[in-house]
Amino acid sequence: MVDAETELHKLKNQQVAYQKELDHLRTLDERYRAENTDVQRRIDQENVRNAELSRLIADNEAKIRIKEDQIMQLRKELESARYNNSQLLDSNANLQAEIDALHNHIRVL
């Protein structure tokens, strides 16, 4: 009978220890669930922010492409203007030579 009571006492103590461990594990579970919920919320926020930044990057890349196209067009216009200016300078030099020749011809006459 003493052995049975001793065994019963040991089992009750073991049950109390298991109950304390179970309570501790439930507390940890609740804390980890709360942390997981918080982490998931932050992940969702980061995903929203990431999508927003991706959209901004795409918009900026489109603007850059437009600006690069404008730069190329302006470079073509500048090159054309330089070419025209060179032709006009040559033409002006030829006309000045003709004017000088006509002035000489007028003096001779």
Residue 1 DSSP one-character state: -
pLDDT band at 1 (very low <50, low <70, confident <90, very high): confident
Q: How far apart are CA 64 and CA 58, in angstroms?
A: 10
Check: pTM over 0.75? Answer yes or no. Answer: no
Mean pLDDT of the chain: 96
Distance CA 109, CA 103 (A): 10
